[in-house]
C-alpha cells in the first residue's frame, strides 16, 4: 500500500485542484478493461451526454474493474483528501466518438456548495465530492478530453459568463494513468478530436457523512463479489456509525 500524497503532490493539488498519476495500470490491464467495454456492444456514443455514458454495471463485467475501487496506489491518496471514512458516491463510464463534445464548464465551489467544496484547515485539506478517472485510451495534447480552470477550486467569485479560452487547461492523459480532482474545481470536457473513441471509467468519492447522488444499495451480484474493504466503501452516508476504510 502506498503512503498517500507526497509533499509535491499535496502542494500541486492544493494549488491546482487536480493531480495526474502516471502509469498506474500496466498496458495488459488497460487493454483487458478496454476489451471488456468493447464486448458489451453498447449503443453508439453520439453528441448527447446520455449516449456518452454507461452506468456502474461495469463493476459486474469483470473482476479487474472492481480492483479499481480501492486500488493500492489511489486509496491512500483518497484517505488524505477525504479522510478514513470515505465512501463511493457513484460511478459511471464515458465513451466519446471522434468529433463530439461533452459537458461545458461546470462544478466549482462558488457560490459555496456543501457537496462540492475545498477547504484547508489546521494543516490539512478537506474535500467534498472527488473524482478518480481511469483512462483507457491515450488523450494526447490537442486531442481534447478533460479540461479545467486550474486553481478555481479556491475561487471566491462566480465564473464570468464569458472567459478567454486560454483560461481552460487541457490535461493530456496516457492510457493507464489516473486523474484525481476535486469537484470544487471548475472543469469541462474539451471536444474529442482523436481518431478513436474516448473511454474512461469514473469513480466519485465523498467523505463518509456526505452524499451527492441519491444513495442506492449495490446490486446483489456485485455485493457478493466485493471484498470486506470494498463493501465498506458502499456504506450509506453517516457520521456514526461509519466504519473506516
Per-10-residue mean pLDDT of the chain, 245 residues long, equals: 88 98 98 96 79 91 98 98 98 93 85 90 95 98 97 93 95 98 96 96 98 94 97 97 95
Is residue 7 in a domain? no
CATH (domain of 63): 2.60.120.620
**What residues make up the domain containing 158?**
22-233
**pLDDT attached to residue 213:** 93
Is residue 16 in a domain? no
Cell of 81: 483528501
What are the CA-CA distances from residue 90 to residues 73, 218, 234 (Å)? 20, 10, 9
Is residue 119 in a domain? yes
3-state secondary structure of 80: helix
Is residue 150 in a domain? yes
Is residue 239 in a domain? no
Distance CA 105, CA 3 (A): 33
**pLDDT attached to residue 201:** 98
Decide: 213 and 89 in contact? Cβ < 8 Å.
yes
Distance CA 218, CA 87 (A): 13
Is residue 30 in a domain? yes
Is residue 238 in a domain? no
Total domains in the chain come to 1
Sign of CA dihedral 205, 208, 209, 213: positive
Is residue 243 in a domain? no
Closest listed residue to residue 21, CA positions, set 13, 29, 60: 13
**pLDDT attached to residue 45:** 78
Amino acid at each position: 500500500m502506498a503512503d498517500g500524497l507526497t509533499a509535491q503532490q499535496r502542494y500541486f493539488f492544493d494549488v491546482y485542484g487536480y493531480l495526474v498519476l502516471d502509469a498506474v495500470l500496466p498496458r495488459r490491464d488497460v487493454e483487458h478493461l478496454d476489451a471488456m467495454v468493447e464486448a458489451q456492444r453498447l449503443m453508439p456514443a453520439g453528441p448527447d451526454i446520455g449516449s456518452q455514458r454507461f452506468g456502474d454495471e461495469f463493476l459486474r463485467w469483470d473482476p479487474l474493474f472492481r480492483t479499481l475501487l480501492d486500488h493500492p496506489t489511489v486509496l491512500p491518496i483518497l484517505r488524505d483528501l477525504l479522510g478514513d471514512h470515505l465512501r463511493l458516491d457513484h460511478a459511471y463510464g464515458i465513451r466519446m466518438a471522434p468529433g463530439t463534445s461533452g459537458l461545458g464548464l461546470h462544478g466549482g465551489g462558488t457560490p459555496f456548495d456543501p457537496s462540492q467544496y475545498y477547504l484547508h484547515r489546521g494543516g490539512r485539506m478537506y474535500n467534498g465530492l472527488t473524482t478518480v478517472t481511469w483512462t483507457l485510451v491515450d488523450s494526447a495534447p490537442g486531442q481534447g478530453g478533460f479540461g479545467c480552470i486550474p486553481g478555481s477550486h479556491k475561487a471566491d467569485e462566480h465564473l464570468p459568463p464569458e472567459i478567454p479560452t486560454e483560461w481552460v487547461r487541457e490535461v493530456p492523459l496516457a492510457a493507464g494513468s489516473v486523474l484525481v480532482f476535486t469537484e470544487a474545481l471548475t472543469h469541462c470536457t474539451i471536444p474529442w478530436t482523436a481518431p478513436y473513441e474516448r473511454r474512461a471509467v469514473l469513480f466519485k468519492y465523498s467523505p463518509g457523512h456526505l452524499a451527492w447522488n441519491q444513495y442506492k444499495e449495490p446490486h446483489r451480484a456485485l455485493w457478493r463479489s466485493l471484498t470486506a474493504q470494498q463493501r465498506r466503501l458502499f456504506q450509506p452516508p453517516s457520521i456514526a456509525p461509519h466504519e473506516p476504510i
